């Protein structure tokens, strides 16, 4: 049995989604691919390197795989040969921050439980990933990988497919440096404990901007979507500075100045990807050409 699942990028909703706010996410072309077949019990991991281990060793050495086995049960993977292919999430030995662990979790759940609906895959994969991350995170990345289409997501309602306007054009841009989402979210939770009033004020602003963007998406109003994304971006900068977590760092500041379009970091920030937005496809095409000339990795969403 084979299965695949895409990685993700946040359009907006970072941090706010952890406090019950909505988020918008979009799939990327990079996918995790999994094969599960009868065999002697081995796991082959294909990423920036290739390794094959006996299953018992792989479940102990690779925490994500151990978490999935714990939730699915040993019998679901016993006596199986697994091939876990995430090479699309790498450039050389550099990992791109596109949610590869979530995509791999979803793909493996789909391969082991092919009869499940997308919603059931999301719920089971979310349980696996929460064990792996020890409860940290919103589950939005799992939801996107399970649904494999643009979604609106909140912790209360889960994923809802959405349609983006045809004149909303986006370019994902890699900053050239990876960031640890777990570390950044942990630092933000420390800020929450240290100054709960200030934290709440920031979250209220982010949630209001996210709700405004959701309404603009519902109205298919690209210009209002861009206005709300710009608003959300300003609020992220304020949160980054006031919390002293500094996830909106110089990499993103420099990229925002370079692209000269609507721009915001995608995800927890600190590196990885930002997204440039425009209602003019020619602006996005020209920017992609410029970045290619400068050997900066980018791709149209």
pLDDT of residue 116: 95
**Same-domain check for residues 130 and 184:** no
One domain, residues 157 and 177: no
CB-based contact 176:183 (threshold 8 Å): no
Q: Whole domain around residue 205: which residue ranges?
A: 169-300
230: which 2 tokens? 């710009």
Q: Which of 142, 161, 180 is the last residue of a domain?
A: 161
Contact 174, 296 (CB under 8 A): yes
Q: Within this chain, do residues 12 and 148 fall inside the same structural domain, yes or no?
A: yes
| 171-180 tens-digit pLDDT | 999 988 877 7
Do residues 15 and 58 share a domain?
yes
Distance of CA 19 to the CA centre of its chain: 17
Instruction: Give me the CATH number covering residue 36.
Output: 3.30.230.10
Contact between residue 172 and residue 273 where contact means Cβ atoms under 8 Å apart: yes
Over the Cα atoms of the chain, what is R_g?
19
Residue 50's pLDDT is 92
Q: Within this chain, do residues 146 and 245 fall inside the same structural domain, yes or no?
A: no
Q: How far is CA 197 from CA 59, 191, 278, in A?
A: 42, 10, 35
Q: Which residue has the tokens 């209602």?
A: 279
Domain closes at, from 145, 161, 177: 161
Q: How many domains does the chain have?
A: 2
> At which of 127, 161, 195 does a domain end?
161
Nearest to 164 by CA among 233, 206, 118, 214: 214
Do 212 and 143 reside in the same domain of the chain? Answer: no
Same domain, 130 and 20: yes
Q: Are residues 177 and 66 in the same domain?
A: no
Output the tens digit of pLDDT for each of the chain's 301 residues.
999 999 999 999 999 999 999 999 999 999 999 999 999 999 999 998 899 999 889 888 999 989 998 999 878 888 899 999 999 999 888 889 899 999 999 999 999 999 999 999 999 999 999 999 887 788 999 999 999 999 999 999 999 999 999 999 999 999 888 777 778 888 888 999 999 999 999 999 999 999 999 999 999 999 999 999 999 999 999 999 999 998 888 889 999 999 999 999 998 877 789 999 999 999 999 999 999 999 999 999 9
Please tell me whether residues 217 and 142 are part of one structural domain.
Answer: no
One domain for residues 173 and 156? no
Question: Do 148 and 188 fall into the same domain?
Answer: no
Domain of residue 177, CATH code: 3.30.70.890
Taking the C-alpha atoms of residue 211 and residue 227, their distance in angstroms, rounded to an integer, is 13
Quote the CA–CA distance of 56 and 240 in Å, as a whole number: 42
Looking at residue 96, the DSSP 8-state letter turns out to be: P
Q: Closest by alpha carbon to 100, among 73, 62, 134?
A: 62
User: Which tokens hold the place of 104?
Assistant: 């791999």
Contact 210, 232 (CB under 8 A): yes
Residues 55, 125: one domain? yes
């Amino acid at each position: 049995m084979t299965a695949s699942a895409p990685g993700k990028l946040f359009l907006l909703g970072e941090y706010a989604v952890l406090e019950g706010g909505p988020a918008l996410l979009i799939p990327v072309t990079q996918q995790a691919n999994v094969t599960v077949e009868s065999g002697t019990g081995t796991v082959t991991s294909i990423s920036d390197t290739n390794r094959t281990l006996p299953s018992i060793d792989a479940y102990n050495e690779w925490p994500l795989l151990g978490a999935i086995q714990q939730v699915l049960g040993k019998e679901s993977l016993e006596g199986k040969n697994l091939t876990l292919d995430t090479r699309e999430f790498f450039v050389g030995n550099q990992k791109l921050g596109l949610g590869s662990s979530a995509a791999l979790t979803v793909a493996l759940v789909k391969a082991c439980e092919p009869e499940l609906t997308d919603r059931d895959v999301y719920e089971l994969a979310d349980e696996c990933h929460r064990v792996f991350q020890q409860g940290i995170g919103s589950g939005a990345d799992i939801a996107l990988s399970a649904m494999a289409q643009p979604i609106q997501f909140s912790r209360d309602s889960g994923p809802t497919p959405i349609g983006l306007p045809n004149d909303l054009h986006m370019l994902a841009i890699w900053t050239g440096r990876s960031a640890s989402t777990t570390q950044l979210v942990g630092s933000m939770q420390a800020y929450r404990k240290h100054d709960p009033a200030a934290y709440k004020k920031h979250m209220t602003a982010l949630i209001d901007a996210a709700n405004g963007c959701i309404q603009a998406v519902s109205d298919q109003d690209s210009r209002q979507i861009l206005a709300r994304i710009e608003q959300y971006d300003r609020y992220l900068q304020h949160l980054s500075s006031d919390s002293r977590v500094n996830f909106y760092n110089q990499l993103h500041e420099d990229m925002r100045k370079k692209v000269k379009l609507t721009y915001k970091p995608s995800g927890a920030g600190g590196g990885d990807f930002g997204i440039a937005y425009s209602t003019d496809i020619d602006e996005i095409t020209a920017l992609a050409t410029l970045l290619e000339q400068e050997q900066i990795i980018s791709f149209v969403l």
